[in-house]
Structure 1
Amino acid sequence: MGGILTKRDDSPLTSVPTTKLEAKILETMRRRESEGTSMKSFNTIILKFPKIDTGLRKCKAIFEQFDEDKSGSIDPKELNHCFRKLEIDFTDEEINDIFEECDINKDMGIAFKEFIVLLCLVHLLKKDPASAHPSSRMEIPDLEATFETLVDSFVFLDKNKDGYVSRSEMVRAINETTSGERSSGRIAMKRFEEMDWDKNGMVNFKEFLFAFTKWVGIEDEEDIAVE
C-alpha cells in the first residue's frame, strides 16, 4: 500500500509509488505540505477525535445513498453515479483509478471505511491548485472541513515534508506531546504499526487515513460482525 522501497548506494530507503494515482497523491501532498499546518502537537489531533468522528459519520448517509443495491459496498457503476451526483468533476478513467486505489481487498466493492478514504483523497486532489479541476466541489462543506483536518494532521506528522511519515517522525511527534513519559515510545510504535500496513517503514496518506478511521472508532459492518 505504501509503495516499493528502493535504495541507491548508501542513501536512505525511500518509497516509490507503484501506480500513477499514488504518484499524483504523493506529489499533491508534498505541495500541500509546503503550506504548513495548524496542528501544534499530537494532543491537538487527539482532542479533535470526537469532532472528526462526527464528521466522518456524515459519510454514512452518503454511502448508503449510493449503495444502490444495498449490498454493503459501492461498485464502480455506483461510484460513477456518486461522483456525478456530488458534482465531482473526474473523468471515467480517474474514477476507475481511485476505485482501484481504495478497493483494498480487491473484491470490486468499496466498503464504508474505504469510501471515507476515497472521498478524503478526492478532497486532497481537487483542492490542489495544479489539479485539472481545482474548482470541483463535493457540495458537502461540513465533511470537507473534516477532511482538511485529516490532511492537516498528516502534514504535522510528516516532519521532513516528503509525503511519507516514517517511524522516527512518529516517535518525534509523540515525544513532543508526552515528554518524559516512559511509555511514549511504545505508544508511538503502536500507532505507527497500525498505519504501516505493508511494513515498509514508510506511511503514505492513504495508509494514514485507514488507521485514522480506526482510531476514531469508525467500523465497517463486517468489522462489527467479527467482534
Structure 2
Amino acid sequence: MWATIVGSTLRRIQQVFERFDKDGGGSLDRQEMQLVFKTLCPNFSSKEISKFMQELDRGGDGAVSHGEFLEWIKAGSPAAAEVYKVILKETGDAMSARVREVFQRFDSDGGGYLDKDELSRVFRTLNSDFTFKDIEALCRDLDRGGDGKVSHKEFLHWLKKGTELAQAVSRAILRETGEAREERIKKAFQAYDATGDGSLNIEELRQTLKVLGSFSEDEVRKVCVDLDKSKDGEVSFQEFASWIKSGTGPPAAMKAKAILAPSDSDGLEAVYYNFCGAGHSDMDGKSFKKLCQDCELMDKRLDATHVDLIFADNRVKPRGQNRIDFLQFESALELLAEKKGVAKAEIRKDMVLQGGPKVTKSVSAPVIPTNRRPKENLRNISQKRIASILKRPANEPKGQETWRKEVNNRELWKVFGLDNAAGRTLKRIYSGTEVGLVSPESPSTRSLRRTPTAELLVVKAKSDGLVLGPKAHMKQP
C-alpha cells in the first residue's frame, strides 16, 4: 500500500523541496524547513516545529534531505499525516501549485504575503495590457481584509470566484507558470552550458556576464556569490532553476535573473536592465530618454520635454525620487503609449526589438600632443603617417615598390612640424623655390629610379640625425 503511495507522491514531495530549497542544494536547512511548516500548516506552533525538526534531522547535520523527509512522512505521526494531506492538495490542485509558484517569484521578503507593490508586479508581468485602473481594481478586490496584503489562500479563493478579471488572471497564470516557465529556464541554461554536460562553470558564467556589458565588476561578483552558494565552482540545472525562480536576492542578482532568463515572456525586463547600465538596477531620467530615442519613439507628439514630464509623473514615481524600478517603468510605458496614441503592446514591441542601447561610434581618435606620446611608439606612429602620405601600404611586402606611384612630398614637412630642422628642411626642399615638387613623371624622378640611391634615400635631414628612406624607415642615432 505504502509503496503505491510513495510511487504516486514522490514527485509531489520533490516539488515541495524544489519550491523551498532556496539554494538548490538538494536539502532543506532549519530555516527553510520552518518556512515549509509555516506555509503549509500555519496552525503549527514554533515549539511544535522545533520538535518536528528534531524528528526529521536524523543525521544531526542541521539539514533535512528528501529521503529523511519521506521517512518522516512514512512514520505516520499526526503532524506528518497533516503535512502529507497538504502536500497532496498543494501539488494535486494545478492552480494552487501555480499560485504558489507566483508567490515564490514575487514575494520578495518571503513573508508568505503579497503587498500592493508585489501584486502590481504580478499583474503587470502576467498581463501587460492591464492599466492603472485595472490594477487598482484588482488589488481592492483581492484585499478583502483591508490590511494591504494578500495571502496564498485569499488569492486562490479570489481566482475560484470566476469573475471576468479573475478568469483573465487565471489564464495568464497557466500560460506563464509551470511547464512554460520551466521550459524557458531550461533553454536559458542550455544556452550558457557551452559544454553540454548539464553543469555551468561559474567562471564561464562570470565571463558571460562581463561580455553582456550590463554589469559592473562588483555586480558580477555579487551575482556569482548569490548563485554558487555551494562554492564548488559548478552550478547544476536544479541550482540554476531554483535561483531563477526565487524572488529574493541582492539587486544585482535580480537583474541577472531578468537578463539571463526573463520571467516575462517577451523579455522586456531584460531590455529595461540593459538600459539601466552597468552598476545600476534602476533607471534614471537620462537612460529613460535614451531608451525612447534609441527605440525611435520620439516625434512631434512625443518630444524630449514630454519624455521628461512622463518620467517625473507622480503616477510613475513619488516626487523627489530620481530613479525608477521595473514596476514604475511599466507605468511609464502606459503613459508613453497614451501620449503617442498607440497601444502599449506596440511600445513594448519596439523596445524588445531594440534590445539594448545603440552603440555610438567615435568619429575620430583623440589627438595626442607630440610631447606626450610615449617615446617607444614614436617610430611606429611616424612610419604609419609617412606611409599614408606616400600612399604606400603600411604592410607592403619587401621588394615591392608601389610607394613610387603618385608620390607627392609637398606636405611631408607636416609630419615633423616647423619646430625642428628636419621639418624646415623638408618644407624648403618641396616648397617649389629651390628644387620644386618631385613628381613621378618628372625627369628627375625617372633618373632617380634608375639609380641605386632610389632604394636608399629620398630626404636626409642631417641636422637632426634623422634619415628618411623611400620605405619610410626612420633611424635614430
- Shorter chain as normaliser: what TM range? 0.3 to 0.5
Q: Normalising by the residue count of structure 2, what TM-score does the alignment of the two structures yield?
A: 0.20
